[in-house]
């Protein structure tokens, strides 16, 4: 039965060669190597070109090896679905990060359940910390959200320069070193943005 290796890196500047060497150094002879390079970990496994190609090529009962768990999916749910699908085909899944544990075995499934629980707890803690931080910043009077790219005076000048002096949107974008879309929102505001601006400027 053939042994398949799979690797992934997020940018084109990176290479999966180190992942392949790590698998071979662990004592596995890789017959087929598939790698997605320049593919974010946020992309589900089934939507990665080389991972999908590997699934078409690997046969029932063969072995798939990766260095880390996140190579198999974007989150605990995606990894779980991928492992479940591979298990139905009796494909052994080895993750070196977990000590060569076969995730399709009973022990491997228990490990996945534990990892999913930990991941869920980490997400809850992250949400809790984020909400706590926002509440603290608001109480301290800090302005939340992205900082404005232009000042109020600049926005008034941009509007006047476009409507009164006829300066093009592209020229204004170069002058103020912002995108044309930013200039468009200032020089040609929508009714909704004008309403938001009117409400914001009402006295407290």
Cα distance between residue 55 and residue 43, in whole Å: 16
Q: Which of 10, 105, 132, 193 is catalytic?
A: 10
**Residue 65 — φ and ψ, nearest 5°?**
-125, 135
Q: For residue 30, what are its two tokens?
A: 């890789």
Contact 99, 69 (CB under 8 A): no
Q: For residue 95, what are its two tokens?
A: 């993750």
168: helix, strand or coil: coil
CA distances from 95 to 89, 92, 160 (A): 18, 10, 62
Cα distance between residue 110 and residue 101, in whole Å: 11
Cα distance between residue 88 and residue 171, in whole Å: 60
| 10 has catalytic annotation | yes
Catalytic positions, written as ranges: 10
């Amino acid at each position: 039965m053939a042994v398949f290796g799979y690797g992934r890196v997020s940018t084109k500047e990176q290479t999966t060669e180190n992942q392949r060497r790590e698998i071979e150094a662990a004592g596995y002879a890789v017959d087929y190597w598939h790698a997605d390079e320049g593919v974010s970990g946020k992309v589900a496994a089934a939507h990665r070109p080389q991972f999908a190609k590997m699934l078409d090529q690997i046969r029932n009962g063969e072995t798939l090896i990766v260095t880390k768990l996140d190579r198999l999916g974007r989150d605990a749910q995606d990894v779980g679905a991928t492992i479940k699908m591979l298990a139905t085909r009796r494909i052994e899944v080895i993750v070196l990060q977990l000590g060569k544990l076969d995730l399709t075995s009973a022990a491997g499934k228990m490990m996945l359940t534990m990892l999913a629980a930990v991941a869920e707890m980490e997400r809850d803690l992250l949400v809790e910390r984020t909400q706590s931080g926002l509440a603290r910043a608001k109480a301290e009077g800090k302005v939340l959200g992205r900082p404005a790219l232009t000042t109020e005076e600049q926005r008034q000048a941009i509007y006047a320069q476009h409507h009164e002096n006829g300066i093009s949107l592209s020229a204004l974008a170069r002058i103020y070193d912002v995108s044309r879309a930013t200039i468009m929102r200032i020089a040609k505001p929508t009714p909704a943005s004008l309403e938001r601006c009117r409400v914001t400027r009402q006295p407290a």
